[in-house]
Amino acid sequence: MIGARPINLHLKGFESLGAKVTIEGGYVHASARRLIGSAMFLGGRSGSTVLGTANVMMAATLAEGVTLIESAACEPEVVDLANFLNAMGARIIGAGSPTITITGVKELHGAEHEVIPDRIEAATYAIAAAVTNGEVTLRGARADHMHAILDKLNDSGVKVDRTGPDITVHRNGRLKPVDITTLPYSGFPTDAQAQMMALMAVTPGISIITERIFESRFMHVSELARLGADIEIEGPSAIVKGGKPLSGAPVMASDLRASAALVLAGLAARGTTQVNRVYHIDRGYENIDVKLRHLGARIERIEES
């Protein structure tokens, strides 16, 4: 089904492989008697498409001939998927760079593979510790996948200690405002933008958060304002005048990362915050309420009758 994000690059990628793609009733229908390797460009106005790169790469593993993806996404998740497919017999080189070459094979076979840790989930819990003046140890997190996030936390006055595969996060005195611009990997990820905005909302001073990946990804701003945050939108930037106390209120989740931001802001707010439509958050976080409760948060899930 078609989501809110642009899908033109995905469609063009599949069409380049010889698939017939149509949109009917809000759904994408793709069909092909056989797929043929081709050269394609997957760069967009705001950078490469991660899911588009992954989808085309998977399809190309069984396409006839060679597929060349130019301006491919370089995210760790793309590399991890390529490693998995190669373990199954695919022939993919260049994953993690802007150019990926896939030589099609006739079939894939089974394989064992350990999926990399979710860097955005890890970042969310790290920011949760910062926003509540708490401490959390992320076991097995990949700091090498999180440099941009951890650097911004350091800049904001949050102490980040790395011990082997573990990352411990806690405040290191007074929080400081930081400016953030979302960028393709290895820049600051758009999927951590909303959570950092919640942190900046409780940080004294003015922070500027600029969104360069997805348009209109500030839907959480109006809901954070219901909690007392002082945020103004100017073009692609959000001006956060932080440091004012937040007060609990009913809020509405609009997407996955906005949901996480509202939960974090609710943890820092006085009183009770009720986050509605949390089915969004369940798309990207497994038992986030249980994990936060284990960390000492006073949070519970209310099942609808």
Structure confidence by residue, pLDDT tens digits, 18-33 = 889 888 888 888 888 8
Q: Are 239 and 208 in contact (CB under 8 A)?
A: yes
pLDDT digit string, tens, across residues 174-211: 999 999 999 999 999 999 999 999 999 999 999 999 99
Rounded mean pLDDT, 281-285? 95
Confidence of residue 7 (pLDDT cuts 50, 70, 90): low
Q: Where in the chain is the domain with CATH 3.65.10.10?
A: 8-103, 119-294
Rounded mean pLDDT, 230-248? 97
Q: pLDDT above 90 covers what percent of the chain?
A: 82
Which residue(s) pair with 166 in the sheet? 163
pLDDT at position 305:
61
Sequential DSSP letters for 70-88: ES----HHHHHHHHHHHHT
Of the listed ranges 78-82, 93-97, 162-166, 256-260, the one predicted with least confidence: 162-166
pLDDT at position 112:
98
Of the listed ranges 162-166, 175-179, 218-222, the one predicted with least confidence: 162-166
Distance CA 214, CA 50 (A): 13
Residues 6+ apart with CB under 8 A from 274: 248, 249, 250, 251, 302
Q: List C-alpha distances in Å: 26 to 6, 22, 23, 255.
A: 13, 10, 6, 19
pLDDT at position 11:
81
Residue 1 has pLDDT above 60, yes or no: no
By the 10 Å C-beta count (0-12 exposed, 13-18 middle, 19+ buried), 231 is classed as buried
Domain topology for 8-103: UDP-n-acetylglucosamine1-carboxyvinyl-transferase; Chain (3.65.10)
Rounded mean pLDDT, 155-181? 95
| 85 or 6, which is more confident | 85
| 36 or 10, which is more confident | 36
pLDDT at position 4:
43
Rounded mean pLDDT, 36-40? 95
Rounded mean pLDDT, 290-299? 96
Mean pLDDT (the chain) is 94
The CATH homologous superfamily to which domain 119-294 belongs is Enolpyruvate transferase domain (3.65.10.10)
Give the DSSP H/E element, type plus range, for residue 120: helix 119-131
Q: Roughly what angle, to the nearest 10 degrees, separates helices 119-131 and 193-201?
A: 0
Nearest to 260 by CA among 247, 278, 245, 243: 278
In this structure, what DSSP letter does residue 254 have?
-
pLDDT at position 300:
95
Rounded mean pLDDT, 159-166? 93
pLDDT digit string, tens, across residues 92-151: 999 999 999 999 999 999 999 999 999 999 999 999 999 999 999 999 999 999 999 999
